[in-house]
Structure 1
Amino acid sequence: MTRVAVRPELLRWARERAGVMTVDDLADRFPRLPEWESETALPTLKQIESFARAVHVPVGYLFLATPPDEPLPIPDFRTHDGRGIRRASPNLIDMLYACQERQGWYREFSLAGRMPEIDFVASANLDQRPEEVAASMGQRLGFDLTARAACRTWEEALRLFIGQAEKLGVLVMVSGIVLSNTHRALDPQEFRGFALADSRAPLVFINGADSKSGQMFTLAHELAHIWLGTSALSDATAATLSGHRREEVWCNAVAAELLVPLAAVRATLRPDEPIDAAMQRLARQFKVSTLVILRRLFDAGSISRDAFGHVWAMERERLRALTEAAGSSGGDFYRTTLSRVGKRFARALVESTLEGQTLYRDAFRMLGVSKTETFNTIGRDVGAML
């Protein structure tokens, strides 16, 4: 039996990195963890390997002299109460790297197929008025407010929006878990999405654990980053509170105008209508969160700054409670699996695999599937197989 010496600070770092703040949280699986951290006992190699899997850390990290620095590969614009969020969870880090791998693969696929670069990437700048950029984005996307209002549900409206973005060439991926691991849920309180800008493979990832209306705003916000040509990690909301960077404030403004044009809001205002009633009515019409509507009511001059802050805080807590109570229904397995990588990426990957350009092993990993039957079903759903 091989026992290994691991520095206590590495064990504590790995535990806290995974969000496990006390040894008691791992007591059932690793009853001798307190002894390992106090150096009164040494773990076996198998125990350390099991511990590494439990806290989602590469086992080699546990044999370093000091905890490693893990800078995020893209700018981090997340904030909490106006302060930057320092440490990213293993789930977020692993999801970022998985999407970067997919993006890198698709970029090579695009180059091999001599596909043209996408002209709207980096076509905007921060000196442009958000209204101007939102109008340009809406025109390119074919964004039709009437068509969105006709959608029966927020989910249907979100699918329409995703389809419009993918038709333009954006890889849109939506998931509430890391790859296909249902035990590794993504927390919308940690992040709502990110954008990976690239002239051939622009990618937007949306945290699927968020509400459907919240996902609508995240997609619009991350598309604004793509138009800027900047990669970024965000916890996008419609509020432009102090502490947010200029780029985030600008992307919020573009997203709000794209989803809920101020002119359209003013045209539908009703005199003396209570704010709560207006929020609910307009949220149903525009298929966005009541928080986005609240922001636009403020922009339209229908609510004061002081009242906005108070109502915003109350509505945010109400929606958070509703989201937690609703949980996740799981949904259709194949549709969910496909949405995690997006139709554009899935079709390209299946076609490349069938042509022998990509190994099945690599395709399965990037799709997050383990069975040939699932791979074939996805291939048929995206029109790559009969």
Structure 2
Amino acid sequence: MREMDRALHRRKVFLELGSPADFALDDFVFDSPEEAGERLRARLAISDDYASTDSGKALKQWITLVENLGVLVFQMSRVEPRECQGLSLFYSPVPIVILNGADDANVRSFTLFHELGHILHRSGALCELEGDNEVERECNAFAASFLLPREPFLRKMGQAKDPLTLLGATAQHFGVSWSAVAVRLRTLGLITQQQLDSQLQIAARVAAENLERRREKARASKGGPPHHVLKLRNLGPRYVESVLDAFHENRISATDASYFLESKQGVIAKMERELIKGVTAE
């Protein structure tokens, strides 16, 4: 609820600042998940052969693409992934997606397009990957279709007798999570629903173990991302740019900018430098 309230306030600020607010997918029809994923990929002019083994870099690129469609993408801290992997709030203009920053980058990429699926359904949701209803399954299938286009995916699978043995290699090749590959195998009829459910349970357990290891490492080193990098990630580049533009054009004061960006002036200056460098998601 805290993160939803923050997101709604930021959206209000974004609109009050007169930022461009068109939602480029207002005319997009979500028919079947498979076709919707393919059509969105074509609309964004993404080659079927595109793949990134760098999941952090891929996440940044996907966020930029989605924000360019007219969506505000935020990330949240201090929320356990088992409680919520993502949120979406449908508005036209300026729908909202919130990702859980505690998840691995490849998981967040899948969540991003899962939530975009909800927006294309003209609905909002609080989501877990294992959500068991028809809309959740359709949004999973849409995200899998978009991130793992049919022909390149099937070529990667080859003639494997047991496609589950290629989960890791395929996930690394496309820069996505094991769960995403498992969902794609299911949507293409290569594994059963029981096999998918089993893989999602395994993936959830492994993700929780990985998160705990990262936290232990951070506690031991007393490190972690610098505060301004984390704040920029959570606020999202589109929102931060909107506030900074208003400030530099003297439409708002420095005090207003601090309030809207939830930061002191020194942190804002660092965020701006980081934004210019393009370091926004990891």
Range into which the TM-score falls when normalised by the shorter chain = 0.7 to 0.9
- Of 74, 88, 104, 1:173 maps to 74
Q: Is 1:262 the equivalent of 2:150?
A: yes
Q: Supply the AA of the counterpart residue of 1:354.
A: H
Query: Whole-Å Cα distance in 2 between the matches of residues 382 and 322 of structure 1?
Result: 28
Q: Is 1:249 the equivalent of 2:137?
A: yes
- Check 1:252–1:276 CA distance in 2 against 1; reply closer, same or farther (3 A cut): closer
Q: TM-score, normalised by structure 2?
A: 0.84
Quote the offset at 1:373 in angstroms.
1.8
Tell me if the contact between 1:174 and 1:206 (Cα under 8 Å) persists in the aligned partners: yes
- Check 1:308–1:195 CA distance in 2 against 1; reply closer, same or farther (3 A cut): closer
- Of 295, 298, 312, 2:186 maps to 298
Relative contact order, CA 8 A, sep 6+: which one is greater?
Answer: 2
- Of 259, 262, 278, 1:368 maps to 262
Residue-pair matches, total: 270
Query: Whole-Å Cα distance in 1 between the matches of residues 207 and 100 of structure 2?
Result: 16
Q: Is 1:96 the equivalent of 2:4?
A: yes
Quote the offset at 1:345 in angstroms.
0.9
Q: Which structure is higher in helix share?
A: 2
- Of 191, 214, 231, 1:337 maps to 231
> Mean alpha-carbon deviation: is it higher for 353-362 or for 224-233?
353-362
Query: Whole-Å Cα distance in 1 between the matches of residues 186 and 44 of structure 2?
Result: 27
Identity of aligned residues (%): 24
Q: Which residue of 1 aligns with 2:101?
A: 208
Q: Is 1:118 the equivalent of 2:23?
A: yes
Quote the offset at 1:161 in angstroms.
1.0
Query: Whole-Å Cα distance in 2 between the matches of residues 135 and 275 of structure 1?
Result: 22
Q: Which residue of 1 aligns with 2:201?
A: 313
Tell me if the contact between 1:343 and 1:382 (Cα under 8 Å) persists in the aligned partners: yes
Quote the offset at 1:282 in angstroms.
0.6
Match of 1:340, SS state, is: helix
- Deviations for 1:86-129, whole angstroms, at most 9, x for unmatched residues? xxxxxxx111101100001112223xx6x46323136334xx11
Q: Is 1:280 the equivalent of 2:168?
A: yes
Matches within 5 A, 1:343-358: 343-358=237-252
- Check 1:263–1:325 CA distance in 2 against 1; reply closer, same or farther (3 A cut): same
Match of 2:225, SS state, is: coil
Match of 2:17, SS state, is: helix
Q: TM-score, normalised by structure 1?
A: 0.63
Quote the offset at 1:375 in angstroms.
1.5
Unaligned runs of 5+ in 2: 277-282
- Check 1:324–1:194 CA distance in 2 against 1; reply closer, same or farther (3 A cut): same
Query: Whole-Å Cα distance in 2 between the matches of residues 362 and 139 of structure 1?
Result: 40
Q: Which residue of 2 aligns with 1:324?
A: 212
Q: Is 1:155 the equivalent of 2:82?
A: no
- Deviations for 1:335-372, whole angstroms, at most 9, x for unmatched residues? 322111111111110121233433433432332212x1
- Check 1:307–1:201 CA distance in 2 against 1; reply closer, same or farther (3 A cut): closer
Q: Supply the AA of the counterpart residue of 1:98.
A: R
Q: Supply the AA of the counterpart residue of 1:162.
A: I
- Deviations for 1:60-91, whole angstroms, at most 9, x for unmatched residues? xxxxxxxxxxxxxxxxxxxxxxxxxxxxxxxx
Quote the offset at 1:380 in angstroms.
4.1
- Deviations for 1:276-322, whole angstroms, at most 9, x for unmatched residues? 53001110111111111122223333333444433443343233222
Q: Which residue of 1 aligns with 2:113?
A: 220
Query: Whole-Å Cα distance in 2 between the matches of residues 250 and 272 of structure 1?
Result: 26
RMSD: 2.5
Query: Whole-Å Cα distance in 2 between the matches of residues 248 and 322 of structure 1?
Result: 25
Tell me if the contact between 1:107 and 1:200 (Cα under 8 Å) persists in the aligned partners: no
Q: Supply the AA of the counterpart residue of 1:281.
A: A
